């Protein structure tokens, strides 16, 4: 019954679902379930003396339910295991019939009277389930290649390296400190604070919103926190994220905002020197004259930003500004037609490597077969550390890639079970 009728019943149910919709499927499930339970109830009634659940009608019904439920679960699991292992059982009708009843027989065997028989069945079940778990945890080469393709990973350009004092971030974490993309200092205290200033124009104020008697500009970045009226009528606003001034200019409001590391006096001097940006100050954005406001900010250089009209000022000296100045990145590109000296301030050969420096990064490039391996860091990163990292970078192994790749989206219960087993 388990070898022939039940597998055929499941296939018939699948056909009914595809052909007749949920109504016919539901009817066939109900009829099939009742027929199977009735058959198994007859079986346990005839052979009740050899089972620990064969004495009463209630126990016999429980036995039938346990056999059909546990057997079907084992049958489905066995189907998945043989498919994953590539045994081809599900594609061979004879093997399906011969082996399809095994899970049902094993469940029934667990309730045999006599400890020798049910202990032997239990041991065999444990062995088969353990083997199934091993198979389901395993990832076939085809599955692995599918994950690589889904994440757009190319083996030729996927490298790994461990950098002393640094941890991988932003993907490409292969475990044990190995990374394949970006790295940040292991010690948070090694990251200098960001120092940026923004000057932004706003045309409307929020109704009823005031800080220290001054209306608050609509969409402004200084709408909360503390405030203080300073000499000359300027209102200094500050919170945990930024601080600065909101200055009325005609019917407009212009904010001068800095990150916490920016000096208060520098922001005040900028607020006092606010004026409409000239064509020379806007550089390549001369057509925006009359829309943007700028100020005198010693040691900083500004550039125009989008809507609302504004200017972003960054320190001229980028060697100590923010996480970028101490971060490290690993890039691997195909060497064909690739000029490593393009758009660089300095490009110098160095014993098989090439030292390159750009406006705010520097590092080394080394040729590996058909690719260029680049390790670039912020201007505060030690040059020797970058050179050694470029020399140590190597292709990532399959095991390292498996740790870094996201799992494929599961399709069904078995896929979810396989992912759970791999993460267990």
Question: DSSP of 254-281, one letter per residue?
Answer: EEEEE-TTS-HHHHHHHHHT-EEPPHHH
Q: Which of 59-68, 232-241, 284-293 is predicted least confidently?
A: 284-293
- Could you tell me if 276 and 302 lie in one domain? yes
6 has pLDDT over 70: no
pLDDT at 162 (0 to 100)? 96
- Could you tell me if 9 and 133 lie in one domain? yes
2 has pLDDT over 60: no
What would the mean pLDDT of 172-198 be, rounded to a whole number?
91
**Banded model confidence at residue 34, pLDDT cuts 50, 70, 90:** confident
Q: How far apart are CA 40 and CA 17, in angstroms?
A: 25
Give, as one character, the DSSP assignment of residue 101. Answer: T
Residue indicated by tokens 């057997």: 71
Q: Is 247 strand, coil or helix?
A: strand
pLDDT at 396 (0 to 100)? 92
**Which candidate, 360, 196, 340, places its Cα nearest to that of 270?**
196
Residue 333 in contact with residue 345, Cβ under 8 Å?
Answer: no
1 has pLDDT over 70: no
- Cα–Cα distance list, 405 to 135, 158, 409 (Å): 20, 12, 12
Q: How far apart are CA 143 and CA 138, in angstroms?
A: 10
Exposure of 339 in the CB half-sphere (CA atoms within 13 A): 5
- CATH classification of the domain holding 375: 3.40.1000
146 has pLDDT over 70: yes
Q: Is 369 strand, coil or helix?
A: coil
pLDDT at 140 (0 to 100)? 76
Q: How far apart are CA 20 and CA 13, in angstroms?
A: 10
242 has pLDDT over 90: yes
**Banded model confidence at residue 258, pLDDT cuts 50, 70, 90:** very high
pLDDT at 169 (0 to 100)? 87
What's the whole-number average pLDDT of the chain? Answer: 86
Tell me the torsion sign for CA atoms 381, 383, 388, 391: positive
The angle formed by the CA atoms of residues 246, 250 and 251, to the nearest 5 degrees, is 85
pLDDT at 286 (0 to 100)? 65
pLDDT tens digit sequence for 73-96 = 898 888 888 888 878 787 787 787
Which pair of structure tokens corresponds to residue 395? 């292709």
- Could you tell me if 211 and 315 lie in one domain? yes
pLDDT at 195 (0 to 100)? 93
Which pair of structure tokens corresponds to residue 206? 């929020």
pLDDT at 25 (0 to 100)? 62
pLDDT at 135 (0 to 100)? 87
Residue 274 in contact with residue 249, Cβ under 8 Å?
Answer: yes
pLDDT at 412 (0 to 100)? 74
- Total of domains in the chain: 4
- Could you tell me if 299 and 210 lie in one domain? yes
pLDDT at 175 (0 to 100)? 84
Cis peptide before 150 (omega within 30 of 0): no
Top-confidence residue, 140 or 163? 163
Residue 172 in contact with residue 190, Cβ under 8 Å?
Answer: no
35 has pLDDT over 90: no
Contacts 24+ apart (CB under 8 A), 96-99: 96/7, 97/3, 97/4, 97/7, 98/3, 99/3
What would the mean pLDDT of 136-143 be, rounded to a whole number?
80
What would the mean pLDDT of 115-127 be, rounded to a whole number?
92
Domain that holds residue 128: 5-137
Other CB atoms within 10 A of residue 287 CB: 9
- Could you tell me if 297 and 227 lie in one domain? yes
- Could you tell me if 15 and 95 lie in one domain? yes
pLDDT at 200 (0 to 100)? 92
- Could you tell me if 14 and 131 lie in one domain? yes
**Banded model confidence at residue 423, pLDDT cuts 50, 70, 90:** confident
- Could you tell me if 38 and 128 lie in one domain? yes
What would the mean pLDDT of 196-214 be, rounded to a whole number?
89
pLDDT above 90 coverage of the chain, percent: 46
- Could you tell me if 342 and 393 lie in one domain? yes
What would the mean pLDDT of 296-318 be, rounded to a whole number?
86
Other CB atoms within 10 A of residue 64 CB: 22
- Could you tell me if 289 and 345 lie in one domain? no
- Could you tell me if 174 and 282 lie in one domain? no
284 has pLDDT over 80: no
Which pair of structure tokens corresponds to residue 200? 């932004």
pLDDT at 96 (0 to 100)? 79
- Could you tell me if 379 and 327 lie in one domain? yes
**Banded model confidence at residue 13, pLDDT cuts 50, 70, 90:** low
pLDDT at 236 (0 to 100)? 96
């Amino acid at each position: 019954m388990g070898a022939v009728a039940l597998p055929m019943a499941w296939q018939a149910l699948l056909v009914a679902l595809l052909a007749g919709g949920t109504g016919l499927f539901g009817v066939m499930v109900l009829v099939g379930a009742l027929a199977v339970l009735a058959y198994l109830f007859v079986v346990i009634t005839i052979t009740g003396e050899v089972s620990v659940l064969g004495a009463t009608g209630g126990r016999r019904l429980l036995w039938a339910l346990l056999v059909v439920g546990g057997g079907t679960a084992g049958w489905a699991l066995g189907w998945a295991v043989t498919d994953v292992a590539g045994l081809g059982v599900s594609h061979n009708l004879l093997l399906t019939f011969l082996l399809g009843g095994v899970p049902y027989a094993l469940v029934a065997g667990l309730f045999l009277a006599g400890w020798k028989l049910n202990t032997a069945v239990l041991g065999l079940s444990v062995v088969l389930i353990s083997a199934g778990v091993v198979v389901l945890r395993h990832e076939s080469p085809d599955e692995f290649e599918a994950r690589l393709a889904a994440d757009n990973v190319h083996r030729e350009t996927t490298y790994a390296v461990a950098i002393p004092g640094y941890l991988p971030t932003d993907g490409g974490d292969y475990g044990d400190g190995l990374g394949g993309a970006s790295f940040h200092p292991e010690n948070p205290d090694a990251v200098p604070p960001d120092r940026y200033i923004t000057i932004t124009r706003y045309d409307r104020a929020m109704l009823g919103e005031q800080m220290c008697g001054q209306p608050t500009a609509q969409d402004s970045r200084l709408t909360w926190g503390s405030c203080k009226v300073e000499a000359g009528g300027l209102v200094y606003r500050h919170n945990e994220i930024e601080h600065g001034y909101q200055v009325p200019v005609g019917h407009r409001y212009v904010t001068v905002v800095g990150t916490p590391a920016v000096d208060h006096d520098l922001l005040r001097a900028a607020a006092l020197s606010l004026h409409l940006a000239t064509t020379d100050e806007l550089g390549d954005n001369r057509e925006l004259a009359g829309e943007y406001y700028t100020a005198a900010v010693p040691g900083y250089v500004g550039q125009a930003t989008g809507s609302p009209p504004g200017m972003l000022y960054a320190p001229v000296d980028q060697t100590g500004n923010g996480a970028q100045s101490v971060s490290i990145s690993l890039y691997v590109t195909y060497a064909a037609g690739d000029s490593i000296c393009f758009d660089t301030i300095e490009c110098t050969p160095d014993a098989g490597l090439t030292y390159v420096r750009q406006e705010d990064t520097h590092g080394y490039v080394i040729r590996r077969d058909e690719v260029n391996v680049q390790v670039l860091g912020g201007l505060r990163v030690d040059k020797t550390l970058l050179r050694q990292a470029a020399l140590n970078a190597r292709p990532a192994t399959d095991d390292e890639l498996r740790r870094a790749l996201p799992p494929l989206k599961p399709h069904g219960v078995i896929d979810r079970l396989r992912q759970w087993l791999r993460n267990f």
